Amino acid sequence: MATATIATASRVRTEKAPGIKPSGWIGFLFIAPNLLGVIAFTLIPLISVVVLAFTDWNLVSGLGGITFNGIDNFVAIARDPGFWHAIGLTLVYVVVSVPLTVVLGLALGIALNRPLPGRAVLRAIFFLPYIVNVVAIGMTWLMLMNPKAGLVNQVLDAFGIQPGWFASSHWALPALIVMAIWGGVGYCSLIYLSALQDAPAQLYEAADIDGASAWAKFRVITWPSLLPTTIFLMVTLIIGASQGFGLIALITAGGPGDATTTISYYMYQTGFQFYRFGYASAIGLVTFVGVLVLTLLTWRAQRGRALND
């Protein structure tokens, strides 16, 4: 019986619609505009970065000025304190901001999943930071976190705390982390919300019949069913956070000192301010490998724990 079903399905897949010639050319014609875009703006730059990583090139000297220098750039990276400092800052930024964003997003998602008056409006409000222009976000937080006249410090003053925020090498990175969390929580909550609505209702009913507590239901049903969503969010947020550039360029320019020179900004400085495009490409390549490893570790750490696995 099973064999017959598979054979029928196979026949269906290989049957052709009447009037269409078995040729792939038409298909290629339709996807050509998109394919050209991908080749021009993704594939060629990617390959270029890999090639340039093994060169010394200042861009201004043109293609004729490219000098291949073997693995010199990678040796220099290993000895570059600026690179390791930037890697350290990026790790702090990722390790603090990503889990906090996910946890707060989950809490908000669960809260918004309950019947609340004005729930749709609340969802929209929490999602807003994700879609607002980065310049507007930057300017708003710059005003809010002004050490002297900002609203944040006026509130904190009641507790005797007066952080320097963007004007302090100790507080600038925490300020950026706060902004990243604020910007990402709404997005996470929305993704979690859709996952929560797909959670198997019959399991909750069974748990209710068994008299399970709310915490037990969360631990045994909700969390395992949300695990694939959590992995997705962790992976995308890790990639996003390790590439964070816009707000840093806009607000701190990597400072004060080098307090917010994360790896993306360091790469930008190296390439676009110092015109060391070969070295910047090597940094990009090393960072790519690092992010890939971090992503795979995250994925592997949670594999097999989802409800459906």
Partner 1 sequence: MRRKRFSRREVLAGVGAGLAAAVVPGCSGGDGGRSGALQVWGGVPAASGPGDVVKAFQEKFPQYKVNYTRFVNDDRGNLKLDTALQGGVDIDVYFTYSQGALALRAGSGLAADLTDRVTADPELKVFLDTVQPRSYIDNGKVKALATAREPFFVLFNEKLRQQAGVELPHDWTIDEFRSTAKQLTTGKTVGAYTVPDVARIALGPNYWYDGNRSNFGDPHFEQGFRLGREMIADGTAFPWTEVLARHLDAYQQNSFLTEEFHLWSTAPFNLRYLYDAKKYPHDFKVAFAPSPTVDGKDWNGGSFSNFIMINPKSPKFEAAWAFVKFWLTEGATPMLKGGKLPALGGVTDDQVITGMLGKEPDKYFDMDSFRRVVLEADPKLATDTRLTGFPEITLAVKQQRDLCWLGEKDPGVAIREVRRLADAAIARNERRP
Task: Write out 192-240 in H/E/C secondary structure.
Answer: HHHHHHCCCHHHHHHHHHHCCCHHHHHHHHHHHHHHHHHHHHHHHHHHH
Q: What are phi and psi of 68, to 5 degrees?
A: -75, 130
> How many whole angstroms separate alpha carbon 263 and alpha carbon 113?
37
To partner 1, the closest distance from the beta carbon of 179 in angstroms equals 15
User: 268, 249 in Cβ contact below 8 A?
Assistant: yes
Does 68 bind partner 1 (CB under 8 A)? Our answer is no
CA–CA distance from 100 to each of 24, 51, 248 (Å)?
48, 37, 20
With contacts defined by CB under 8 A, name the span among 185-193, 213-221, 226-234, 270-278 that binds partner 1. 270-278
Binding mask 200-229 for partner 1 (x = CB under 8 A): ------------------------------
For partner 1, the closer of residues 192 and 265 by Cβ is 265
For partner 1, which stretch binds (CB under 8 A), given 8-16, 194-202, 219-227, 266-274?
A: 266-274
Contacting residue, 22, 33, 160, 304, with partner 1 by CB under 8 A? 33
Q: Examine residue 23 and tell whether it contacts partner 1 (CB under 8 A).
A: yes
Contact with partner 1 (CB under 8 A) among 50, 51, 58, 174: 58
Which of 1, 3, 19, 304 contacts partner 1 by CB under 8 A? 19
The set of residues, in sequence order, having a beta carbon less than 8 Å from that of 150 and lying 6+ positions away, is 143, 144, 165
- Specify the stretch interacting with partner 1 by CB under 8 A; choose among 9-17, 46-54, 58-66, 224-232: 58-66
Q: Which of 7, 28, 47, 301 binds partner 1 (CB under 8 A)?
A: 28
Question: Residue 73's closest CA among 273, 278, 268, 277?
Answer: 278
For residue 117, cis peptide bond before it (omega within 30 degrees of 0):
no
CB of 133 to partner 1, least distance (A): 18
User: With CB under 8 A as the contact rule, which of the stretches 98-106, 118-126, 205-213, 254-262 interacts with partner 1?
Assistant: 254-262
- Is residue 281 within 8 Å of residue 49, measured between CB atoms? yes
Tokens linked to 288? 């790519």
Q: Which of 242, 269, 281, 287 binds partner 1 (CB under 8 A)?
A: 269
- Classify 62 as helix, strand or coil: coil
Q: Of these, 110, 168, 240, 298, which contacts partner 1 (CB under 8 A)?
A: 168
Query: Using CB under 8 A, which of 1, 4, 17, 26 touches partner 1?
Result: 26
Stretch of 27-35, 124-132, 227-235, 288-296 contacting partner 1, by CB under 8 A: 27-35
Residues 38-57 that bind partner 1 (CB under 8 A): 56
Contact between 86 and 284 (Cβ < 8 Å) = no
d(CA 308, CA 239): 26
CA distances for 273 relative to 223, 264, 269, 276, angstroms? 46, 13, 5, 8
Q: Would you tell me which residues interact with partner 1 (CB under 8 A)?
A: 19, 21, 23, 25-26, 28-29, 32-33, 36, 56, 58-62, 65, 67, 142, 145-148, 150, 164-170, 255-258, 269, 272-275
